[in-house]
Amino acid sequence: MTAASHPAPTHALSTAAPGFLAADVGGTHVRVARVEASGDAAHPVRVLDYRKYRNADHPGLGAILSDFLGDGMRPAHCVVATAGYAREDGTVITANVPWPLSARQLETEVGVQHVHIVNDFEAVAHAAAQVDASGVLQLCGPDSASIGPTLVVGPGTGLGAALWIPTAHGPVVLATEAGQASLAASDALEMAILRHMLRGRSHVSVEHALSGPGLINLYTALCALEDRPALLGSPDAVTAAAIAGTDALARRALDVFCGLLGSTVGDMALLYGAHGGVYLAGGILPKIRDYLRDSTFVARYLNKGPMSEALQRIPVKVVEHGQLGVIGAASWYLGQQPR
């Protein structure tokens, strides 16, 4: 689940401040960095200090930001990329972040003058093209494509997606709620899983299958269909058992996950006209990147009838998430400043 951005007020932005704080808030981890403008148009953000926190170890984002800053001086500005829907008053509606978020409360609690909220995958979209080649796995398509709309998709605690669109006046990023679209099945097994998931609910979203919790949902459904107990209780456990080949249903669940991801990303690429490329950047993907490469992902991605030829021209790459969120949040912030 992603968020609409909460625009940074023009009067609050200062070109004089050399550094500011950027945070990427996910369902499991928060990544925080002190950053500054680099002056390099290709890589506009310089990371000065970076740290990763487990959400479960802290009572809220304010405590994490305060720990990161310690007793040092507070920067004037902090930009937070987060999953959820940002209201105009700076509060956030979210299903995947464990604590309430409020820009105004963070300003008071942390001692930062201005906190700005931005869509989590809108932020990643601002950074994906800046990833060093060593952090990229090419799945299909040409090495590069012409400049055009670029799709960033990421299964993590939920499923985020955003579209980077070049314009004559600089790039625009379209945030989406693609993870809340209805899940589509493509074969008999997926249809059986979908029917099982529909028991007791009227809507099965894409992220109900394509996320960390979604992988557990797939595994649990398969266990139920096979009338076997679900012995694995976390996405990491299912992933590890699938890769090691120690649990046949875990492996089947991961196979279904990869196939559904391929079909869904292919749909998104066509829906959004993403001829500039597709970047996969979710938290779960670095753990399964080799498995994904050898799975049915590419075949399912390309299985769009006559549109297969068009999809073959689009580069599809897995990028390491790492600092992408904070770099993207910082890039978004810098883009708000008057030129």
For the question of whether the overall pTM of this predicted structure is more than 0.75, the answer is yes
Question: Residue 72: its pLDDT value, please?
Answer: 86
Question: Residue 41: its pLDDT value, please?
Answer: 74
* Residue 321, beta-bridge partner list: none
Question: Residue 202: its pLDDT value, please?
Answer: 92
Task: For the chain of 339 residues, list the mean pLDDT of each consecutive stretch of 10.
Answer: 40 50 89 91 85 94 96 92 75 74 92 89 76 74 89 88 88 87 96 95 95 96 97 96 97 98 97 93 85 97 97 92 83 78
Contacts (Cβ under 8 Å, ≥6 apart) of 30: 23, 24, 52, 53, 55, 58, 61, 64
Neighbours of 168 (CB within 10 A): 4
d(CA 71, CA 240): 41
Question: Residue 129: its pLDDT value, please?
Answer: 59
Question: Residue 176: its pLDDT value, please?
Answer: 87
Predicted confidence (pLDDT) per residue in 237-262, tens digit: 999 999 999 999 999 999 999 999 99
